[in-house]
């Protein structure tokens, strides 16, 4: 990757609306725990991730990762591997999204819902057995959410995320 692309991708990472474009599920605690595990698997020092997730910000963690790993390793060793890992048993999902991206169209809501991973037992039980209307159901997350923005209230696909453009136009070609 040339210096211009490195600088551009670094800016995209730092300015992302969701930390690492939302490829890791959960809140800050889950994301930091997952990153700690990933760093250990890469043979890196897991202490890059702060012990107290409440005191750390995503910006400081991103800066630490950039300083230690660099943008190329973040993209290849974390982002690409996580996207591929989450789509391992879902043959055709990425190709489906790529085809829509390349043609300039959005996937239909119904089709997109069929791509989503099945809900967990906890999510299903929470929806069935919640007696208190004030309690919200457990939110769902899927890697597809990193690529498209959906409006679940009105059941439609709102548009593509910034990550979709980065993935299909920048990251995926570099990973090849």
Q: pLDDT at position 62, please?
A: 93
Residues 24 and 79 in one domain: yes
Distance CA 120, CA 74 (A): 29
Residues 61 and 107 in one domain: no
Q: Where are the beta strands (DSSP E) in the chain?
A: 148-151, 156-160
Place of tokens 């800066």: 63
- Quick one: 107 and 80 in the same domain? no
Contact (CB, 8 A) for 92 and 111: no
Q: Which residue has the tokens 């474009």?
A: 21
Over residues 57-74, mean pLDDT: 93
Structure tokens at 13: 């990472």
d(CA 159, CA 59): 26
- In tens, the pLDDT along 8-29 reads 999 999 999 999 999 998 888 8
CA–CA dist 26, 35 (Å, integer): 12
Check residue 121 and report its DSSP letter.
Answer: H
The H or E element that residue 104 is part of is: none
What is the per-residue pLDDT for 116?
74
Q: Does 126 lie in the same domain as 78? A: no
Quick one: which of 167, 169, 165, 162 has its CA closest to 84? 167
46 and 103 assigned to the same domain: no
- One domain, residues 107 and 37: no
Q: Domains in the chain: how many in total? A: 2
Q: Do residue 71 and residue 141 come from a single domain?
A: no
Q: What angle do CA 139, 62, 32 make, to 5 degrees?
A: 45
Give the DSSP H/E element, type plus range, for residue 159.
strand 156-160
Whether pLDDT at 158 is above 70: yes
Residues 118-152: tens digit of each pLDDT: 656 665 565 556 555 555 544 456 888 899 998 87
Check whether residue 39 and residue 61 sit in a common domain: yes
What per-residue confidence (pLDDT) applies to 52? 80
Q: Supply the pTM of this predicted model.
A: 0.82
User: Do 57 and 108 sit in the same domain of this protein?
Assistant: no
- Residues 171 and 97 grouped into a single domain: yes
């Amino acid at each position: 990757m040339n210096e211009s692309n490195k600088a551009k991708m670094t800016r995209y990472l730092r300015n992302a609306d969701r930390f690492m474009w939302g490829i890791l599920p959960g809140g800050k605690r889950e994301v930091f725990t997952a990153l700690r595990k990933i760093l250990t698997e890469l043979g890196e020092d897991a202490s890059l991730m702060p012990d107290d997730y409440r005191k750390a910000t995503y910006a400081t963690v991103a800066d630490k990762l950039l300083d230690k790993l660099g943008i190329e390793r973040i993209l290849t060793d974390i982002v690409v591997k996580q996207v591929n890992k989450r789509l391992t048993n879902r043959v055709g999902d990425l190709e489906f999204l790529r085809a829509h991206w390349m043609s300039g169209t959005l996937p239909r809501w119904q089709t997109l819902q069929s791509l989503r991973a099945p809900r967990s037992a906890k999510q299903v039980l929470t929806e069935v057995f919640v007696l208190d209307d004030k309690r919200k159901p457990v939110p769902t997350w899927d890697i597809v959410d990193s690529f498209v923005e959906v409006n679940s209230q009105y059941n439609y696909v709102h548009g593509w995320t910034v990550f979709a453009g980065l993935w299909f136009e920048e990251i995926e070609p570099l990973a090849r």
